[in-house]
């Protein structure tokens, strides 16, 4: 279960976003150290037909007590029509303890917005060397609603 609070604002054509996330694993043994808190800060820039974004996430005690964790991500989005956009993102993850190697992840997708809904078709991949198949490349289709 993810619980989060954040605040976003705009100034001088730049959007800002800061917040905290709490990742909870109800029912897990409390000594496992699965629950953890993460802080983030992000920026966004709209440059005519292209939008750029970036964010930094930090946790002092990552999942399973694996140490300090950092995640840095950047994205690019451009509208093909008023409702259709193409988006690309890349991220880098680093954990200080023995949690495996640092890795990159990336995705490329199309998003179609209509009314209060958005349909997204996206290819995801990573260079993580060993995670029992859970990091293999995949295509994801999602539908989200905005309230």
Q: What is residue 101's predicted lDDT score, i.e. its pLDDT? A: 76
Which tokens hold the place of 118? Answer: 């958005």
Look at residue 100 in the predicted model and tell me its pLDDT. Answer: 63
Distances (CA, A) of 18 to 23, 40, 55, 58, 108: 17, 6, 9, 12, 24
Q: pLDDT tens digits for 72-123?
A: 999 999 999 999 999 999 999 887 766 567 889 999 999 999 999 999 999 9
Q: Which pLDDT does position 86 carry in this prediction?
A: 98
Residue 132's contacts (CB-CB under 8 Å, 6 or more residues apart) are none
| CB of 22 closer than 8 Å to CB of 35 | yes
Distance, CA of 7 to CA of 133 (rounded, Å): 36
- Which residues are CB-neighbours of 146 under 8 A, at least 6 positions away? 116, 117, 118
| Percent of all residues in the chain with a pLDDT value above 90, rounded to a whole number | 60
Q: Taking residues 12-19, report their average pLDDT.
A: 94
41-145 homologous superfamily: monomeric porin ompg (2.40.160.40)
* Nearest Cα to Cα of residue 97 among 145, 43, 22, 33: 33
| pLDDT bracket for residue 69 (50, 70, 90) | confident
Write down the domain spans for the chain: 41-145
Are residues 8 and 35 in contact, defined by beta-carbon separation less than 8 angstroms? no
- Return d(Cα 57, Cα 99) in angstroms, integer: 17
């Amino acid at each position: 279960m993810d619980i989060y609070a954040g605040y976003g604002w705009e100034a001088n054509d730049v959007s800002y976003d800061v917040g905290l996330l709490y990742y909870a694993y109800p029912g897990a043994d409390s000594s496992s150290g699965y629950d953890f808190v993460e802080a983030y800060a992000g920026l966004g820039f709209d440059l005519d037909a292209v939008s750029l974004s970036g964010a930094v996430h930090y946790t002092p005690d990552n999942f399973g007590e694996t140490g300090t964790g950092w995640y840095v991500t950047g994205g690019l989005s451009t509208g093909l029509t008023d409702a259709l956009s193409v988006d690309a993102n890349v991220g880098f993850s680093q954990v200080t303890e023995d949690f495996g190697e640092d890795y990159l992840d990336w995705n490329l997708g199309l998003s179609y917005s209509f009314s209060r809904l958005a349909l997204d078709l996206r290819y995801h991949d990573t260079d993580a060397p060993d995670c029992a198949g859970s990091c293999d490349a995949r295509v994801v289709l999602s539908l989200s609603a905005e309230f």
